[in-house]
Every structure is written in structure tokens, then in C-alpha cells.
Amino acid sequence: MKTFSPGLSDSIASVIADPRPCPHCDSSSHIAGGLCVGCLLEAGLDPADEGESETLTGILAEVNLPDQNWRLGNYEILEEIGRGGMGVIYRARQRHSRRIVAVKRVLSYHSDSRETLARFRREAQAAASLDHPNILPIYEVSESEDGLPFFSMKFAPGGTLQQVAPALRNEPRQCVAIVAKIARAVQYAHSRGILHRDLKPGNILLDARHHLRHPRLHRPRTSQPFRRRAQTHRRHLQPRRHPLRPPRRPPPFPRRPRPLRHPPGRRIPRP
């Protein structure tokens, strides 16, 4: 029977910063309690050792607990509020002003993808350049200690339009007002060369009074600068008329079909 260290009081952040050797196999560990992944799996798959199963349960419970001391730059991370294919969004508290903000950070497994990191930075800078009453402002664009980019923005506690949509079914005037605000925000973004590619109710946030704050133009895969060059091949384009040439109009009466010509000197008799 293997004996594991019962000390599980270290925070996740401190263990990641200072990995310790596993007490059983001496391999480097990044998990709370100093246990390597192999020993954890072996303990969890062995139903005979009840002590090891209890140890595994305790470790997993601690890993799932939020680390209240985790900081990202000048922000104290409070909880996770959203996750996508490229980034994760946290509710955080700014260290000096103590105001509640939303922080979006690129996922750690994208750290080796230069293209993904460059696209995240480009989208953050594009969103920060927008200034519209129905688009949430970007406060800061920065990088964490491990080199992963993140940015902070105004926190919208009213949820998404998708969440409040059932309550708006009998409010046509309010629905029209919301659609008008969305259209004005999107038109402003288009005028600045920003294109939203995933506009849907789940990406539209509301403030505490359920007023539209912004379509999320910063979401992953949603904002890219307009390409000035056309993406359509020339043979697929509609032909253009010369400005000095009169338009071609159809004849006022249908043309009679021309007779088919046979060998020289012979024609098909007309009916």
C-alpha cells in the first residue's frame, strides 16, 4: 500500500509556482498535495485501497475550489463567468479602485500558438479602439506573468439577451428599441473596420437595469478588420455595363425563331 502525503493546505497557485516531487515516485508534480498524475490515477482505479481513494477525493475537492488569492496582473480573480474556444472570462476586482470588472484571458493551452496569441491581441486592441454607448469599454490590454495576453472591460451584471428573451416576448416596443441599439452599435463597429462574425442573443450583454450595453465585439472568432480586397473570383461577379453604352432592353415583341439551314440552296418551308 502506498502512503501519500496528507498535507493539502497549499493553494493551487503556490503549487504551480513551486512544483514539488511526488512522495511516491519522485516525479515533478503540479497538483495540490505534491502527487503526480500517474499516482493519482493508480490510486483512483484501485478499489481495494480505501485510504488512497479518500486521499484522491480530497485532492480533487481542493483542486475544484476557487483560489481566492489568485491574481492576474492588477486584478483579483473572483469567479469564472464564461468560456469559449480561445479565451475564458472572469469576474474580477481591480486592486486599486476595488471596482468589479470582467477579465478575458486566452486559454493556457494556446500558449504555443503564435497565430492564436496574435489574433487575441489584435481583437483586444480593436475592441479597445471602439467608443460607443452600447459597446462595453475596454479598460486595459496587458499580459500576465506567464506571457499570456488578457484585457479587462466593464462588467455587465444583467446577463445576456438570450437569458431575458422569454420575458420580452410580450414587449414589442422594448424589443424594437433593443434591436435599434444593436444595429447602431454594429453600424458604428463596421464604420471602424470591425466585423462581428457571431452576433447572436447569447453574445449581447445587458447592464443591471437590463439596458443594452454592447454586442460582444471582442469575443473570440467575432471581430476582424475588413479586408479591402475582394474575396470573390472575377468570373463570379456580375458583369458591369459601360457608363456610355445605353442599357440593353428586350424587344417589345418576341422574335420569331430563325429557320435551320440545310445544304446550300435548301430551306425548311415555313409553316
Gyration radius of the chain over CA positions: 31
Q: Which candidate, 192, 190, 219, 191, places its Cα nearest to that of 204?
A: 219
Contact 75, 93 (CB under 8 A): yes
C-alpha to C-alpha distance for 86 and 119, rounded to whole angstroms: 10
Give 65's DSSP letter.
Answer: S
Contact 137, 154 (CB under 8 A): yes
C-alpha to C-alpha distance for 189 and 124, rounded to whole angstroms: 14
Cα dihedral 112/118/121/124 (nearest 10): -120
Catalytic residue among 10, 49, 67, 198: 198
φ, ψ dihedrals at 82, nearest 5°? -170, 155
C-alpha to C-alpha distance for 43 and 29, rounded to whole angstroms: 15
Contact 98, 88 (CB under 8 A): no
Q: Which candidate, 185, 99, 91, places its Cα nearest to that of 135?
A: 185
Active site residue 198: yes
* Cell numbers at 120, concatenated: 487575441
State the catalytic residues.
Answer: 198
